[in-house]
Amino acid sequence: MKAHLAKLPLILKPFVLFLLLSLSVLALLSLQTPRHSLSTTAAAAEEELPSDLKIRPGYASYDAYLQRQLNKTLNPKLREIWTTRDWDRKVKVFSQFFDNMKQRGLISNGSKALSIGARVGQEVAALKRVGVNDSVGIDLVPSPPLVLKGDFHHQPFDDETFDFEFSNVFDHALYPRKFVGEIERTLKHGGICVLHVLLSRRADKYSANDLYSVKPLEKLFKQSELVEVRTIDGFGLDTEVVFKKK
């Protein structure tokens, strides 16, 4: 290398030396740069969602997400409202929803039913009121005897447990794939899932995602077929989406 440099014109020698030094530094840096871990790749895959479904930014960790959800669920003023002033009104409206679902053949008195994100259990009370007595709810904070403690990203139930699952908190899912995956895991073959969602505008400040059409749901429910979509007026939610597990 020194012999070749000696033969170069004097004016080119500084340029060539600078180029060689730069290449050496780049090579050294490339060896020291850490590679992405498998967990990072997996997390990125979770975020690769259909364009009409957006995850809201701002969560530094899953624990931070859970704490934000608990801030709402454990709010003493809200819990008092849910169990007193709102109780009869919401149980009545949910009873009308579930009675209509019975008339459409989506659920029966003999169904084993789950309400996902049930908070204090208004939906479960409504299911029992219309005759679906084998019903239970899950939420981060339990409300015995209607609601068990459970994270909807990892349901505390065995595979193929339920005939019917209902949720109006899809917008609270930080990981929509896991949310749907757990529904399909715990639904029996031929089982029904009904979601009440908001499509016309952004959901409330506690929401973790924003859904702008039904198409993302069709893609997420890989083991189920779309049965029905209809407009509703459900406590700020405007669309009912029905899936049947194949």
Q: Looking at residue 50, what is its pLDDT?
A: 85
Contact between 169 and 230 under an 8 Å Cβ cutoff? The reply is no
Can you tell me whether residue 203 is helix, strand or coil?
A: coil
- Are 20 and 136 members of one domain? no
Contact between 173 and 116 under an 8 Å Cβ cutoff? The reply is no
The answer to the question of residue 36 being in a domain is: no
Q: What are the 10-residue block averages of pLDDT along the chain, 246 residues in total?
A: 48 47 40 32 55 92 95 94 95 98 98 97 98 98 97 98 98 97 98 96 88 96 98 95 98
Q: Looking at residue 201, what is its pLDDT?
A: 84
Q: Looking at residue 9, what is its pLDDT?
A: 53
d(CA 19, CA 12) in angstroms, rounded, equals: 11
Q: How far is CA 124 from CA 40, 93, 149, 167, 169, in A?
A: 38, 12, 14, 11, 15
CB contact set of 234 (below 8 Å; sequence gap of 6+):
93, 97, 168, 196, 240
Q: What is the CATH number of the domain that holds 108?
A: 3.40.50.150
d(CA 171, CA 70) in angstroms, rounded, equals: 15
Q: Looking at residue 205, what is its pLDDT?
A: 86
Task: Tell me 24's DSSP state.
Answer: H
The answer to the question of residue 42 being in a domain is: no
Q: Which domain holds residue 66?
A: 50-245
Q: How many domains are there within the chain?
A: 2
The answer to the question of residue 44 being in a domain is: no
- Are 132 and 27 members of one domain? no
- Are 219 and 139 members of one domain? yes
